[in-house]
Amino acid sequence: MRARGKPFVVVGDALLDRDLDGRAERLAPDAPVPVVDDPTERPRPGGAALAATLASLLDGREVVLVTALARDEPGAVLRELLELAGVAVVDLGLAGPTAEKIRIRAGGRPLLRLDRGARPGRPGPLDDAGRRAIAGAAAVLVADYGRGVAAEPGVRAALAGRPARTPLVWDPHPKGPAAVPGARLATPNRAEAERFVPEVAGEGLATVTARARVLAERWAAAGVAVTLGPGGALLVAGAGAPLVVPAPAARGGDPCGAGDRFAAAAAGLLADGALPSEAVVGAVAAASSFVAAGGAAAVRLPERPPGPAGGGPTGPPARGSAGSTPGGTAVPHGGAVERALAVIERVRAEGGTVVATGGCFDLLHAGHVATLRAARALGDCLVVCLNSDDSVRRLKGHDRPLVPEADRVAVLEAIGCVDAVVPFDERTPEAVLARLRPDVFAKGGDYALADLPEAAVLATWGGQAVVLPYLEGRSTTDLMKEVVRRDSG
């Protein structure tokens, strides 16, 4: 439930972004570079100002932005943009120029970016209005762009002293300060996590998880969600297996601003009472939709009403030019194992990532398919470790499985995202995993990030066990209950 009467507070560095959009149909005669004809310019809020704008316009929140604005022409444009977005501003004042990021685009695709104001100015001290805003917030998002607002001593003291029940989300920057202790969630992207924790080497999900755990301990954060671009996000919260939330498959779009959309959505959901895992699931969905819709360039601010002289809208105009310790040693169904090993060998020879998942897959339903697709998206092949009929009976009872093993194998092998199926007789697939040695083991689960029994065996060769969110409302048990209900009716 959304907190009422309390504003959503964003703290951080405000930038001015400008998009110059035109046509590129020819090369310059004096150099092999495109000529952009008839560009139109549209200014928009950037940095923490973008995060505040998105929370206001897309999420309908009452937003206060604690930032530092310069007394120059770009600063005046930025103030007007924030006013049009419905964002209240606590201005610390900035001794220095407004930072600008200018994208030159053709056909909606960036060709070049120009940055102005590369040397950060100096923000003024936090005043009483800023302290009151932080203390009375429904949630606080620190959108740090490394230009000084998040490092200001008064700001850090106010963030550290906020009420304990107030969720704090820290979206860090490599040039900015460490998060204050006690953040509910920190949201670095993959490259930022690597820069923060260079001592942990590697490329896979195990490395991302290890870096997230280091940051959670270093910053005393309840959770760290590392955003993975088109791969979604990985959440570490506590000692259990990480939660990997895949992003929906999408073509095209513009990723500019995706990190701000993710952080703003996550902080808003935490303000409404969501768990960190629920907030990350919602934030991935919000960021994915945002990118598919065109990213920051597609955000449209309300226009000012016509003036008294009927001169038309005066909002920011478009101007012309100018992110084996197995549970047993037996590995049955050898032929299936050998076929899976052949797939794995081929993928590894090409430098790919091997993913495995496991389950009974009795009465295959949409939730199973969603989990399988999400698991396959984590790497370059997917091996399904399938509980045999004997294994299912031990787990589920004498009346299960409803579908025999051979049929379950046939159905799984017919699914495009599955590369191999290996049945096993034990309760859990540690023995077959020890033979296959995948890089990632992905298991559908709830949002509690419970420990996976397979995690220990994966760790022996540097693999990573992760949890994938279930597709809500789908289960074999529910299907069986519905069949009984209809039959008895």
Tell me the catalytic residues: 260
Where do runs of H (alpha helix) occur along 240-350?
A: 258-271, 276-292, 334-349
Task: Give dist(CA 290, CA 55) in Å, integer.
Answer: 12
Structure-token pair, residue 204: 């896979």
Phi, psi of 197 (to 5 degrees): -125, 65
- Location of structure tokens 């920051």: 296
Task: Give dist(CA 87, CA 67) in Å, integer.
Answer: 12
* DSSP string over 80-117: HHHHHTTEEEEE--EESPPPEEEEEEETTEEEEEEEE-
Structure-token pair, residue 81: 């943009």
CA angle 288, 298, 83 (to 5 degrees): 110
Q: Is the torsion defined by CA of 429, 433, 438, 439 positive or negative?
A: positive
Phi, psi of 354 (to 5 degrees): -100, 125
Of 182, 116, 127, the residue nearest 149 (C-alpha): 127
Angle between helix 128-135 and 153-160 (nearest 10): 30
Using CB atoms within 10 A of its CB, is residue 206 exposed (0-12), middle (13-18) or buried (19+)? buried
Structure-token pair, residue 10: 């964003």
Structure-token pair, residue 444: 């559908």
Residue 36, phi-psi category: left (phi > 0), alpha (psi -120 to 50), beta (remainder) = beta
CA-based diameter of the chain, in Å? 86
Q: How many CB atoms lie within 10 A of CB 460?
A: 13
Which residues are paired to 233 by β-bridges? 227, 245
